[in-house]
Amino acid sequence: MKGKFIVFEGIDGSGKTTQINQLSKWLISTNLIPENNQLVITREPGGTELGKSIRSLLLDTSKTKSPDSITELLLYAADRSQHVNEIIRPTLNKGDWIISDRFCGSTLAYQGYGRKLDIKLIKDLENIATQGIYPDITFLLDIPVEESIKRRINRKEDRIEKEGREFLSNVSLGFQALSEDSKWKKISAINSKENIISEIQSEIKKLIKNK
Ligand code: TMP
């Protein structure tokens, strides 16, 4: 793959959107992306037209019946497969860069550690959906569960956010475990915005240097 693939992960309310916006502004202003290439911002679930429909099936709270855990897992995998084939692989092949708000780490954390589904099953589906495409770097924006709940107090919750404190604590433990991987960088998201931004920028500079 010629381009770079950057992912942001974290529990709900960790500030991914803000940091993705900041990073994209900085990348565009610094010419770190080769002149003829572009930056694509995307997300899971919902990075494609089909994915938008899957997102609403997954997160809509108006339905009387929720999908069961395996159905939920398969819907996230379907969203990812379409996302990889329609957006991620073609973009990287052109040498363009991608920032994705969530990727495989979210499934391991939410469906693996949160729902307690079998990790091997999740990884098998991950292999099918990604066909070997993995991020160059994943940032975990780390906030305590209590802070996540506090930050979202006046926000309308989606179906997953409604799961409550214990579920979120398990998801958070999952993210902690995943962030031990060398391609993950854990950033404390309760630091000042300036500190978070500069930590992210310095990791991106390292990534380019070590390519
Ligand atoms: P968002 O609010 O960050 O857009 O994410 C949507 C919700 O979907 C969020 O609560 C996390 C959840 N999610 C999973 O449970 N599994 C996954 O694989 C992904 C990508 C997201």
Q: Which domains does the chain have, with CATH numbers?
A: 5-209 (3.40.50.300)
Q: Where are the beta strands (DSSP E) in 37-196?
A: 39-43, 97-101, 137-142, 184-188
Residue for token digits 């329609």?
86
Rounded to whole angstroms, how far apart are CA atoms 78 and 72? Answer: 10
Query: For residue 90, is the peptide bond before it cis, meaning its omega torsion is within 30 degrees of 0?
Result: no
- List the residue whose alpha carbon is closest to atom 16 of ligand 1: 107
Which residues approach ligand 1 with their CB closer than 6 A? 12, 44-45, 59, 76, 102, 106-107, 110-111, 158, 160-161
DSSP string, 176-191: HHHTTSTTEEEEETTS
- List the residue whose alpha carbon is closest to atom 13 of ligand 1: 106
Q: What confidence score (pLDDT) does residue 168 get? A: 94
DSSP string, 32-73: -S-TT--EEEEESS-SSHHHHHHHHHHH-S--SSPPPHHHHH
pLDDT per residue, tens digit, the chain (211 aa), is 689 999 999 999 999 999 999 999 999 999 889 889 999 999 999 999 999 999 999 998 887 788 999 999 999 999 999 999 999 999 999 999 999 999 999 999 999 999 999 999 999 999 999 999 999 999 999 999 999 998 888 888 888 888 889 999 999 999 999 999 999 999 999 988 899 999 999 999 999 887 6
Rounded to whole angstroms, how far apart are CA atoms 75 and 78? Answer: 5
Atom of ligand 1 nearest to the CA of 101: 3
- List the residue whose alpha carbon is closest to atom 15 of ligand 1: 110
| 3-state secondary structure (DSSP) of residue 113 | helix
Q: What pTM was computed for the model?
A: 0.96
Rounded to whole angstroms, how far apart are CA atoms 4 and 8? Answer: 13
Classify residue 68 by burial, with Cβ atoms within 10 Å: 0-12, 13-18, 19+.
Answer: exposed
Q: Are 130 and 84 in contact (CB under 8 A)?
A: yes
Residue for token digits 């993705």?
20
